């Protein structure tokens, strides 16, 4: 979505690789340097995006290779991506979901498409992660979060518990 509308792909190439983190970083680092977007150290910074990383990603930079979906499972395995990044001696960061929406936000893992879209949007909008993430997350999750912030989720849960108690009293 972001790549087609904003021409993000034309300005920020999206590359794929079946290799492990370290090999893919070495492979794509040469291509990034050749395109003139190497960092001052001579090669791009490599960042693995992991929901388990202790530090969040604060900015999106052109001289950085972002590893997205480096380990894809149909079920979540805690610390799997973080451990692989550490083994490859590659920096790991998480998307700033807690910083953008607070600690009670129910989403901490995004799809590969949502992650790339958020990176593109944050790069285009100057690093406004709340805006970038808010546009890529499912509408129902954003509405659920807004309701939780307003206390509606707690009230609805309280109403359901009260109704259950009434039902038990009637059948009891």
Mean pLDDT of the chain: 75
Comparing 3 with 43, which gets the higher pLDDT?
43
Q: How crowded is residue 88: how many other Cβ atoms within 10 Å of its Cβ? A: 18
Fold of 43-137: Alpha/beta knot (3.40.1280)
Q: Which residue has the tokens 């590893």?
A: 67
Q: Average pLDDT of 115-141?
A: 90
Angle at 36 between CA 57 and CA 133, to 5 degrees: 25
Ranges of each domain in the chain? 43-137, 138-171
pLDDT for 43 equals: 65
Comparing 148 with 114, which gets the higher pLDDT?
114
pLDDT for 63 equals: 83
pLDDT for 118 equals: 92
Give the C-alpha separation, 113 to 88, whole Å.
Answer: 24
- Report the candidate in 64, 71, 55 with the shortest Cα–Cα distance to residue 112: 71
Band of pLDDT at residue 137, cut at 50, 70 and 90:
confident
Give pLDDT tens digits for 34-56: 333 334 455 678 888 988 899 99
């Amino acid at each position: 979505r972001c790549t087609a509308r904003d021409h993000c792909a034309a300005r920020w190439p999206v590359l794929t690789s079946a290799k492990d983190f370290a090999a893919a970083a070495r492979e794509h680092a040469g291509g990034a340097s050749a395109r003139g977007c190497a960092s001052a150290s001579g090669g791009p910074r490599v960042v693995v995006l992991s929901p388990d990383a202790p530090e969040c990603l604060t900015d999106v930079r052109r001289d950085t290779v972002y590893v997205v979906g480096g380990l894809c499972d149909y079920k979540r395995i805690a610390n799997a991506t973080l451990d692989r990044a550490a083994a490859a001696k590659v920096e790991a960061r998480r998307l700033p979901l807690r910083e953008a929406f607070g600690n009670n936000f129910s989403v901490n893992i995004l799809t590969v498409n949502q992650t790339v879209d958020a990176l593109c949007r944050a790069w285009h909008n100057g690093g406004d992660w709340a805006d970038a993430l808010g546009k890529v997350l499912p509408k129902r999750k954003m509405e659920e979060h807004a309701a939780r912030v307003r206390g509606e989720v707690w009230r609805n849960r309280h109403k359901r518990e009260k109704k259950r108690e009434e039902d038990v009293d009637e059948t009891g």
